[in-house]
Structure 1
Amino acid sequence: MKNEQASGKLPESGIASAAGFKLSKAEFIALMAALMAINALAIDVMLPALSEIGSSLGVLTANHHQYVISIYLLGFAVSQLFYGPISDRFGRKKPLLIGIGIYVATSLACVWVPDFNSLLALRFLQGIGAASTRVMAVSIVRDRYSGRAMAEIMSLAMMVFMIVPVIAPATGQIIMLFSEWHMIFGFMAFFACVIGFWAYMRLPETLAPENRRPFTAGSIISGFGIVLGNRTAFCYTMAASFMLGSLFGFINSAQQIYVGIYDLGKGFPIAFAGVAAFMALSAFLNSRMVGRYGMRRISQTLLITFISLSFLLLLLSAMLDGPVPFPIYIVIFALIMFCFGSIGGNFNALAMEPLGQVAGTASSVLGFVQSLTGAAIGTVIGQSFDGTTVPMSLGYFSVGAIAMVFVLVAEKGKLFRAVSPSPQHMIEK
């Protein structure tokens, strides 16, 4: 077992739980991706239905339709602060299953929602339930991996996870062809039930009893201090937060851009899926290359590329008389999101790397900061939509530049450092 731990890899036979069942490496990655996909589905499957939801519930302002996404992200962000300390005390599995239960119950309640305010309240609660999947998935991966090995596993999980944005909008569109938007929430509940049952049957408890922390105000404050007091962890968390804001900004504006500006109509899910596929490809390539080139070199190179391409799109959006021709827009934007597909996973791994001793609390604090900051930035970008691609491209360029500032602070002004993983980084906590 010591050799397995030193390698930073799962044993070939899989993870053995106290009950004796085993989880292979492939199934472990798939399950982590599926848990994260619960959250992605709650966002992306809604996109084709936003206009119909607004019309059905009497929402007159198009930009206000975005609140269905924003309020969910707010609940998702705030509740992560509580899941981490709870999981560091009681383990990962029980809080995960409770959170999924909240998500399923609120999803079903949305099927019979009477008005827009009630829908927003339930979406907030749905986000609270979904937050458990994000905190626990990252904590569980950190329980088992560290360093480049963690970045590789997170990239593979993200690759599978990003399949959801490829198929979710089309799934929502299909549901609406045969039913109405309420049934989208029924589909969410069914999907979460399947994943929750899978986790209940197959997922072992990964937090060893000797590594559990007391659930007291002092221990929680101490854990938060460890997370926020680490320069590398804090700066990469903030960099990831601003990058996430760009993604949320696009999600909020996606229907208005693809349908409102480019008049894609029912082709909207196809365009959305194409960009998501580029993100998934990026995550896969990152998982293959991160062990050779390292998280820093890859993510910092792609961040520079992200900023450059965003600036190009901003120039075209501002200078052309009319919208950027769709073929040019979609190529540039797909390349921008290709960069994003590897940046996020590497930034998260770099933030979590020094925090293995408080993985649950670290995951919750990092998730809270990233989700809340990202949701706020995404709302600002989305609400700035003015019928052109200028607000979104300006938002992308701005968040990329700010993320670079945080990276420079984290690295003390030196980019592209090749940091070899030390033995202590490769030992599982």
Structure 2
Amino acid sequence: MSASPQRPMMDSPPLRLVEFVPLIASLIALASLGIDTMLPAQPDIARRLRVDAIVDAPLIITVFVIGLGIGQLIHGPLTDRYGRRPVLIVGLVLFIIGNLCAGLANSFTLLLTVRFLSGLAIAASRVVTIALIRDCFSGRAMAQVTSLAFMVFMAVPIVAPSIGQAILLIGSWRLIFEVIAGGALLCLIWFVLRMPETLRPENKSPLSIKTTLAGWRQTLSDRYSVGYTIAALIAQGAIFGYLGSIQPIMERVFHRPEWLGAVFAASAGTMAVANLLNSRIVMTLGMRRISQTALVVMILSSGTGVAVGWFGDEPLLVFVVLQAITMACFGLATSNMSAMAMENMGSIAGVASSVQGFFGITMGAIVGWAIGRSFDGTTVPLHLGFLVAGISGIVIAAIVERGRLFRPS
């Protein structure tokens, strides 16, 4: 590998922001690409591999997400010891190999195994990108850059189901994995050529069980880290519930499976807009005021969805509007909560992001699986999941902030 240029100082990225943000977003989006392109392919995979489309097919996403969560515990200590570049490069190479193998799988068990291993590999992108941002930014500046990255990143889940549907028109579900591998290869080349090492030599941690456990203890003993990680994981669980529920909802509730891509884009698109808005206002209003206000609005929108779904037939337009509002609130809340969880973690950014990511994604996947399994032919379980997430988030924020909600900091 080429020698890294001089390390950047705080609040100064190693690349111009117009390149730094899209690169970070692209790396984060690879995991999303591995999830969302699978949504339209699930029925076809279930049919070809002879498994149940409702009970078994969602495991294609679930095992990937669990691998994504567990893998972060592995990559966190490694990136704090060896640096950001080598860990991510190895992770991307393994992710590419995993997707090529998934495209060749001839049994459902083998497919699930390879998907889990692919999740383990691409977990490096989540750990390293958060650590990269924390290496270069802190506080509101970190929240601002995170929002910009998530705004670009959200373009992937907006278009990914449509990409999956388009691929199925010209080939089989196996081609989807080959396209994902191709996208990962492009990101790998971009990262290798342009991103220098951001971990300063003096901040490297020795790789030992004692050091790792000390990092975990520091992460899990910080009030902001623990509180906002829990709040974010519950909200993440609701999002995973959406991913597991939207396909059967479109098919069995609204009888419009062909509109899956458009409905997904309309809902997820508001998250991108919300993150753009957050990047513009967070320096003025502060992370806490924005995230806590967003949680209140999420409670109102999802509560309305529960009432509409419970007492009558919910029109598709009403469902899309309520989900769009809820998704926007999710974007505003989680981008700021993630930044607040990392506020005191600068010296152990890799380990901290891995621990927070493990709980956020793994436990979120379990919550999402439970929401998906609760599908009863209505939209109520999905709306209820977001309602619980909103209420839990505002209660946890009140505990973490010791009752001082909506303060401009």
TM-score range, shorter chain: over 0.9
- The CA deviation at 1:215 is 0.7
**What SS does the aligned partner of 2:304 have?**
helix
1:286 aligns with 2:278: yes
- The CA deviation at 1:274 is 1.1
- The CA deviation at 1:61 is 4.7
Moved more, 115-124 or 397-406: 397-406
For 2:131, the aligned partner's letter is S
Q: Which residue of 2 is the match for residue 137 of structure 1? A: 129
Contact 2:140 2:287 in 1 (8 A): yes
Q: Deviations over 1:254-293 (max 9, x none)?
A: 1111222112232210111111111100000000000000
Equivalent residue for 1:314, pick from 284, 298, 306: 306
Query: Residues 61 and 164 from structure 1, CA distance in 2 versus in 1: closer, same or farther, beyond 3 angstroms?
Result: closer
Contact 2:47 2:53 in 1 (8 A): no
For 1:402, the aligned partner's letter is S
1:402 aligns with 2:404: no
Q: Deviations over 1:181-230 (max 9, x none)?
A: 11000000000000011101111000010110111111111111110000
Paired with 2:135 and 2:27, the residues of 1 have a C-alpha distance of 16
1:253 aligns with 2:255: no
- Correspondence 1:212-361 to 2 at 5 A: 212-320=204-312, 323-361=313-351
For 1:103, the aligned partner's letter is F
Paired with 2:295 and 2:257, the residues of 1 have a C-alpha distance of 32
For 2:175, the aligned partner's letter is M
For 1:241, the aligned partner's letter is L
Paired with 1:261 and 1:57, the residues of 2 have a C-alpha distance of 26
- Structure 1 unaligned segments of length 5 or more: list them: 16-22, 420-429
Paired with 2:276 and 2:251, the residues of 1 have a C-alpha distance of 30
- Correspondence 1:135-174 to 2 at 5 A: 135-174=127-166
Equivalent residue for 1:413, pick from 392, 403, 408: 403
- The CA deviation at 1:77 is 0.5
TM-score w.r.t. structure 1 length? 0.92
- Structure 2 unaligned segments of length 5 or more: list them: 1-7
Q: Which residue of 1 is the match for residue 11 of structure 2? A: 9
Contact 2:43 2:53 in 1 (8 A): no
For 1:345, the aligned partner's letter is S
Identity, in percent, stands at 39
Paired with 2:132 and 2:201, the residues of 1 have a C-alpha distance of 14
- The CA deviation at 1:391 is 1.0
Paired with 2:61 and 2:360, the residues of 1 have a C-alpha distance of 16
For 1:300, the aligned partner's letter is Q
Q: Deviations over 1:19-48 (max 9, x none)?
A: xxxx21111111100000100100011111
**What SS does the aligned partner of 1:47 have?**
coil
Name the count of aligned residue pairs: 402
Q: Which residue of 2 is the match for residue 208 of structure 1? A: 200
**What SS does the aligned partner of 1:193 have?**
helix
Paired with 1:183 and 1:154, the residues of 2 have a C-alpha distance of 32
Moved more, 75-84 or 152-161: 75-84
**What SS does the aligned partner of 2:56 have?**
helix
**What SS does the aligned partner of 2:58 have?**
helix
- The CA deviation at 1:405 is 2.0
- The CA deviation at 1:60 is 2.4
Q: Which residue of 1 is the match for residue 3 of structure 2? A: none
For 2:40, the aligned partner's letter is P
- The CA deviation at 1:159 is 0.1
- Correspondence 1:116-127 to 2 at 5 A: 116-127=108-119
Moved more, 181-190 or 53-62: 53-62
Q: Which residue of 1 is the match for residue 21 of structure 2? A: 29
Paired with 1:179 and 1:325, the residues of 2 have a C-alpha distance of 34
- The CA deviation at 1:381 is 0.2
Q: Deviations over 1:218-260 (max 9, x none)?
A: 1111111110000111100100000100100000111111222
Paired with 2:345 and 2:162, the residues of 1 have a C-alpha distance of 39
Instruction: Flag as ranges the 4+ runs of structure 1 deviating above 2 A.
Output: none
Q: Which residue of 2 is the match for residue 193 of structure 1? A: 185
Contact 1:63 1:382 in 2 (8 A): no
Paired with 2:268 and 2:383, the residues of 1 have a C-alpha distance of 18
Q: Which residue of 2 is the match for residue 69 of structure 1? A: 61
TM-score w.r.t. structure 2 length? 0.96
Query: Residues 136 and 122 from structure 1, CA distance in 2 versus in 1: closer, same or farther, beyond 3 angstroms?
Result: same
For 1:279, the aligned partner's letter is M
- The CA deviation at 1:68 is 0.6
Aligned Cα root-mean-square deviation (Å): 1.1
**What SS does the aligned partner of 1:353 have?**
coil
Paired with 2:256 and 2:28, the residues of 1 have a C-alpha distance of 29
Q: Deviations over 1:132-166 (max 9, x none)?
A: 00000000000000000000000000000000011
**What SS does the aligned partner of 2:308 have?**
helix
